[in-house]
Amino acid sequence: MKHTLAHVAIVVDDYDEAIAFYTQKLGFQLLEDTVLSSIKRWVVLSPKGSTGCSLLLAKAANEEQKSRVGNQTGGRVFLFLHTDNFWDDFTSMTEAGVEFVRLPVEEEWGTVAVFADLYGNLWDFIQPRG
């Protein structure tokens, strides 16, 4: 038996503004954008070149879901984005307007910084050693 984690859902306010952030500021690729109803779409993105888990944008549909936009984990880092070229990517992301809330540090296991997405969810941005 083989299992694969396919998508991680992130609750957003607006599909199009979220697509713009992830594609223009983080350089993700839009894999799918299918209209399911007048209010719901199936929107999947991933980092360019990634073959792993992708990000599924889920538009908040009610007040409880809206209260989770930007705070899906109670203020903890939510997602972990790895790179093989930390400093070039860090510079590109900074120039694109990505807000880094913790500046880069060198750890035994790699280089890491923390950024906030357009809604305030925190991401670890990491280049692992080795």
28 falls within a domain: yes
109 falls within a domain: yes
* Cα–Cα distance for residue pair 36/45, rounded to 1 Å: 17
1 falls within a domain: no
Q: Which domain holds residue 86?
A: 7-128
* Cα–Cα distance for residue pair 107/32, rounded to 1 Å: 36
Provide the pLDDT for residue 113.
98
89 falls within a domain: yes
Residue positions counted in the chain: 130
The pLDDT tens digits for 55-65 are: 999 999 999 99
* Cα–Cα distance for residue pair 127/129, rounded to 1 Å: 7
Amino acid found at 7: H
90 falls within a domain: yes
CATH code of the domain covering residue 11: 3.10.180.10
Total-model pTM: 0.93
Question: Based on the structure, what is the number of domains in the chain?
Answer: 1
